[in-house]
Amino acid sequence: MLIIKVIYPMSRKIYSLLTGIFCLFLLTTVTAQDNGNARANLKFNAQPKHMWEVGLHAGHFMVVGDVLPRPSFGAGFHVRRALDYAWSVRLDAMYGRALGLEPRNSGGSHAIANPVLSDLGYDGTNAWYHNYKTEFFSVDLQGVFSLNSFNFNDQTRKVNWYLLGGPGVNTFKAYYDALDGSATYNFNSVDNGLDPGNVKDDRKTVASNLKDLLDGDYETRAETASGRRSGSGGGSRQINLHATLGAGFSYRINEKVNIGIEHQVKVLFGNESDLVDGYRWRGPDDLTQYRDMVNYTNLRLNINIGDSEKASEPLWWISPMDLLADDLAEVKARPIIDMTDSDGDGVIDMIDQEKNSIDGFPVDTRGIALDSDGDGVLDGNDKEPYTPAGFVNTVDADGISAMPTPNYTSEDDVNRIVDAKIAANTAATAISSAADWFLPMIHFDFNEYSLKNSSFGPLHHVATVMKQNPNIRVVVAGHTDRTSSNCYNEVLSFNRAETSIDYLVTKYGISRDRLVLKYGGEETNLVATNAKNMMNRRVEFSIANDETEMGRPDCNGNAGSGAGGTNFSGNKEAGF
């Protein structure tokens, strides 16, 4: 079946009006941008910081379509921001519930053409009266143009007239009151003896009869463009596009609050555009010739959000001449600058606090003659204009102070002081014995005898002492903690002492016979504990007296890991 849907002539007018509004928006936006580029180098901003507007709205909502509308309602909210003094952008959301009831007999052909009604049992033998309930939700992005933006007479406007338009998305569900319980209604008697098609009063009577007959449940999901859906829970919502046109005005109560009234018309696009009221059939194979239009007349409560001390009201309320007017008023209030300088001191009379300064005397920025040192003699007469502090009260008429002759220290005095200090100086007490010297110790990681980076400094110190004192010998004693067997720990102690000696010999050239290797194993702990302890894993250095070197422990295998050693074989916790 080929169905050709003719676009109603009013729709063409609406398209033309929408096109005109968007062209005007683009034209004014480009012009504003060009002007902004021309002013880019000026230190002036014609737009002050301004507030946002948020608002609530509610009012009469209805669908103009195939069915006579009944009183309905809608409500929503918006957020609005000014782009300049004329244009603003608004995000507007609303919910509406529309009702409709047609008192004129639709005939049986309408019911037969409608797949939802025909499925319910309306077969053309029973008259049908169109009725519906539609739940409608939409979100719009609207451009708002203030018509009073060219009124420069008032600094703050009391009334703001505006036009609006923009695209949006919507979703809706329409329902019929088509069943009385589980049976179809019998409408054949509601217009007996009446002529609702031609007599207005008869239409009122039929409408009253229909309201008495219908139960108001709206239990049947109306037809959709995508197929047959029925039942209260049938079908998901579809997202549709629409365009919104509107006009309104608002009245300013104070700098934070204003109220307004507005009317919007929403023109839907797509296959669902003629089904907002649930009907699109005039008869079999015959669709209606125009789409449904959503109308919303509402009252608005608008609130400006922001700090009024730091931001102005939204720009559609204020004149762009406000800032210029304030600046001009401030400039006019300034005193006329008189450049006269009567005494010629470089400070004009308007700010000169001493208008008869002596010619040639230096003055400060107030035009007052300077007395830099505060001794009571003006700099123009002062032969010592910077008298030292503490002597300003001893100056003569020329400003010269009576300062005593300074008692400077002569070269002979310096030499005499130095000689006395040298004579009084005594040599430092010598160390009684090299055995009293303190030498550092180094520490090792657990079960290792490789030198750590932190050991190189102490070893350097030991080597330095030995080089500066070539007659001393040093004992190098290795130790361990108590986490292994005694035999294992003696071998590990030996390895640690031997590694330290090898480093001193190789790195610093210390003679091997000046180093005495000894080891204490786990018997010489500094910290009395059987657990792992870094203080016990050490090599100590001390000045040798009559000590003799100890040989390698009589144990098989090696202990620990490190440079020059081999891995110990066997369980180190259980001995060799």
Residue 82 carries which side chain, given as an amino acid letter?
Answer: A
Contact by Cβ (8 Å): 54, 78: yes
Q: What is the pLDDT of residue 436?
A: 60
Q: DSSP 3-state assignment of 244?
A: strand
Query: Cα dihedral angle (343, 344, 347, 349), rounded to 10 degrees?
Result: 40
CA-nearest of 457, 456, 464, 465 to 437 is 465
Q: Does the pLDDT at position 176 exceed 90?
A: yes
* pLDDT band at 304; cut points 50, 70, 90: very high
Contacts of 555 (CB under 8 A, 6+ apart): 487, 488, 490, 491, 576
The arithmetic mean of pLDDT across residues 380-404, rounded, is 77
Q: Which tokens sit at 281?
A: 């059939």
CA atoms within 13 A on the CB side of 249: 9
Judge whether 519 and 552 are in contact, CB under 8 Å. no
Instruction: Encode pLDDT of 480-507 as tens digits.
Output: 988 888 888 889 899 999 999 999 999 9
Mean pLDDT of 181-201: 85
**Model confidence pLDDT, tens digit, residues 318-332:** 877 766 666 777 777
Q: Does domain 53-325 have CATH number 2.40.160.20?
A: yes
For residue 200, pLDDT beyond 80: yes
Give domain 435-543's CATH number out of 3.30.1330.60, 3.40.50.10170, 3.40.50.300, 3.40.50.720.
3.30.1330.60
Over residues 310-320, the mean pLDDT reads: 86
How far is residue 123's CA from residue 120's CA, in Å, rounded to a whole number?
9
Distance, CA of 387 to CA of 94 (rounded, Å): 84
Question: Would you state the pLDDT for residue 190?
Answer: 86
**Are 461 and 501 contacting, i.e. CB atoms less than 8 angstroms apart?**
no
Cα separations (Å) of 174 from 9, 136, 233? 26, 9, 12
Q: Do domains 53-325 and 435-543 have the same CATH topology?
A: no
Q: Does the structure show a pLDDT above 60 at 432? A: no
423 vs 480: CA distance, rounded Å: 53
* pLDDT tens digits along 14-49: 555 655 665 555 555 444 444 445 444 544 456 789
Reply yes or no on whether the pLDDT at 9 is more than 80: no
The per-residue pLDDT for range 244-303, each reduced to its tens digit, is: 999 999 999 999 999 999 999 999 998 888 899 888 877 666 677 788 999 999 999 999
366, two tokens: 């107030």
Q: Write the DSSP assignment of 320-331 as a string of letters.
A: TTHHHHHHHHHH
- How many percent of the chain have pLDDT more than 70? 82
Most confident of 139-153, 229-243, 432-446: 139-153
Q: Which residues contact 503 (CB under 8 A, 6 or more apart)?
A: 451, 459
Confidence of residue 437 (pLDDT cuts 50, 70, 90): low
Distance between alpha carbon 463 and the CA centroid of its chain, in Å?
A: 62
Q: What angle do CA 528, 531, 532 make, to 5 degrees?
A: 105
pLDDT for the residue 364: 85
- Residues 127, 106: Cα–Cα separation, whole Å: 7
Average pLDDT over residues 133-150: 91
Report which DSSP code applies to 428. Answer: P
**Amino acid 162: pLDDT:** 95
Q: Is 315 helix (H, G, I), strand (E, B) or coil?
A: helix
For tokens 């010598």, the residue is 430
pLDDT of 75 > 70? The answer is yes
Q: For residue 135, what are the β-bridge partners?
A: 97, 173
**The pLDDT value given to residue 478:** 92
Give the dihedral sign, CA 149/150/155/158: negative
**CA dihedral sign, ordered 395, 396, 400, 406:** negative
The two structure tokens encoding residue 127:
């008259």
Domain ranges of the chain: 53-325, 435-543
What does the buried/exposed string (b/e) look like for 165-174 if buried means 16 or more CB atoms within 10 Å of the residue's CB? bbebebebbb
Phi, psi of 148 (to 5 degrees): -100, 20
Q: What is the average pLDDT value for the chain, to the nearest integer?
A: 81
pLDDT exceeds 60 at position 525: yes
Please tell me the number of Cα atoms within 13 Å of 124 on its side-chain side. 6
Here the tokens at position 132 are 């519906």
Give the CA angle between residues 248, 254, 257 to the nearest 5°: 55
- H or E segment and range at residue 493: helix 486-508
